[in-house]
């Protein structure tokens, strides 16, 4: 069901949509009970419904250099991964060179082309191909890769589940942002993402950029940039206002960006609050095939702060 943009600001529109997709909201039932949320599963939910804005993820409550070696699975990872895990609390990201084979990544590229040709996958928000994992076996295989799930679960100290995939054929051109404004958890800190290069990157095709250590910034939530919210309507500010506030904060705190010139099959894993985006595309004739997968920890409340909607999750 599609609603005109002019009425999406009104919360009742989302309530109707949620009721129609009630089965996909049941994942929050136990978490609502666990954290004392006495609201219908279909109603709006946001950070104002929770008592704190603090991450409880273990590498945020203590330093990974001290905590990681105490976990029974730590020595099961390669020395290169172990060293990056020790620095997670400082950096907020890991890099896995050529984690996926050319055969695996090319299978994804070919299946995305097929789904586009057959009209089973469509661009949204300009250049995003959403939720291919629901209809593409090669994409689903990557999203459920056992080694990746183990590593992500280790970082959060909780089992994780894939929520969505986003495929790109071109650079995203996204301004600096944190995923936590889009896909939010309570307690905070229990989202994590894996970005996969599906071809070699260059400085010309709009590579990924990120701000090392920016995950340690306070989580920016609706109350930090928006205003005018009521019981029936969302606040008046737009997403660009959030981007402006974040940009000013990065400048004030003197964070410097880095660019990831990835090779095909490389994986970049980032913290829920790590600030990142897509560099300008210097050569519009170049593709930038890539895929990001967002994972939630299983036993937390899962929602979307900016639209105040509970997340819709298919049963797995």
Q: How buried is 70 (Cβ within 10 angstroms: 0-12 exposed, 13-18 middle, 19+ buried)?
A: exposed
- Expressed in angstroms, the distance from the first to the final Cα of the chain is 23
The sign one gets for the Cα dihedral 274, 272, 10, 8 is positive
* pLDDT score for 212: 98
Which residues, 6+ apart, have CB-to-CB distance to 65 below 8 Å?
86, 87, 89
- The Cα–Cα gap between 185 and 15 comes to 19
Query: Measured between alpha carbons, how far is 290 from 262 in angstroms, rounded to an integer?
Result: 10
Q: Supply the pLDDT for residue 95.
A: 98
pLDDT at 316: 54
Compute the radius of gyration of the chain from its Cα atoms.
19
* DSSP sequence for 95-141: EETT-S-HHHHHHHHHHHHHHHHTTSS-EETTTEEE-GGGT-HHHHH
Calpha distance 227→237 (Å, rounded): 7
Contact 314, 24 (CB under 8 A): yes
Report the distance separating Cα 186 and Cα 52, nearest Å.
9
CA 96-266-145 angle, 5° bins: 75
pLDDT of residue 6: 58
Mapped onto helix, strand or coil, the DSSP state of residue 224 is helix
**Alpha carbons 144 and 127: distance in angstroms, whole number:** 24
Cis link prior to 271 (omega < 30° from 0)? no
pTM for the whole thing?
0.95
Residue with tokens 């084979």: 101
- What angle, 0 to 180 degrees and rounded to 10, lies between the N-to-C axes of helices 146-156 and 79-86? 30
| pLDDT value of position 9 | 75
- What is the fold, at CATH topology level, of the domain defined by 5-310? Jelly Rolls (2.60.120)
Question: How far, in Å, CA of 71 to CA of 77, rounded?
Answer: 11
Q: What is the pLDDT of residue 231?
A: 79
pLDDT in tens, 101-130: 999 999 999 999 999 999 999 999 889 999
Q: What is the mean pLDDT of each run of 10 residues along the chain (316 residues)?
A: 62 89 96 96 95 96 98 98 98 98 98 98 93 97 98 98 97 95 97 98 97 97 85 82 95 97 98 97 97 97 96 81
Give the largest Cα separation in the chain, rounded. Answer: 54
pLDDT of residue 5: 57
pLDDT for residue 2? 53
Provide CB contacts within 8 A for 89, sequence distance 6+: 59, 60, 62, 63, 64, 65
């Amino acid at each position: 069901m599609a609603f005109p943009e002019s009425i999406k600001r009104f919360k009742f529109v989302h309530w109707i949509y949620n009721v129609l997709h009630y089965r996909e909201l049941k994942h929050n039932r136990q978490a609502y009970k666990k954290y004392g949320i006495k609201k219908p599963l279909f109603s709006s939910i946001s950070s104002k419904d929770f008592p704190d804005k603090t991450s409880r993820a273990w590498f945020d409550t203590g330093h990974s250099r001290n905590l990681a070696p105490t976990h029974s699975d730590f020595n099961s990872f390669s020395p290169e991964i172990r060293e990056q895990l020790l620095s997670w609390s400082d950096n907020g990201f890991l890099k896995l060179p050529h984690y996926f084979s050319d055969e695996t990544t090319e299978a994804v590229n070919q299946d995305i082309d097929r789904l586009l040709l057959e009209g089973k996958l469509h661009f949204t928000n300009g250049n995003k191909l959403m939720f291919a994992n629901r209809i593409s076996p090669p994409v689903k295989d990557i999203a459920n890769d056992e080694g990746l799930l183990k590593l992500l679960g280790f970082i959060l100290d909780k089992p994780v589940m894939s929520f969505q995939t986003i495929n790109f054929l071109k650079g995203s051109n996204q301004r600096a942002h944190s995923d936590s404004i889009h896909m939010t958890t309570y307690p905070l800190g229990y989202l994590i993402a894996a970005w996969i290069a599906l071809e070699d990157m260059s400085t010309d095709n709009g590579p990924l950029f990120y701000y090392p250590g920016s995950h340690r910034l306070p989580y920016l939530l609706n109350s930090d940039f928006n205003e005018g919210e009521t019981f029936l309507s969302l606040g008046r500010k737009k997403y660009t206002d959030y981007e402006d506030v974040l940009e000013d904060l990065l400048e004030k705190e003197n964070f410097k960006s880095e660019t990831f010139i990835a090779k095909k099959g490389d994986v970049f894993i980032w913290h829920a609050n790590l600030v990142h985006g897509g560099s300008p595309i210097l050569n519009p004739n170049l593709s930038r095939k890539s895929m990001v997968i967002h994972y939630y920890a299983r036993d937390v409340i899962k929602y979307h702060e900016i639209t105040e909607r509970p997340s819709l999750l298919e049963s797995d």
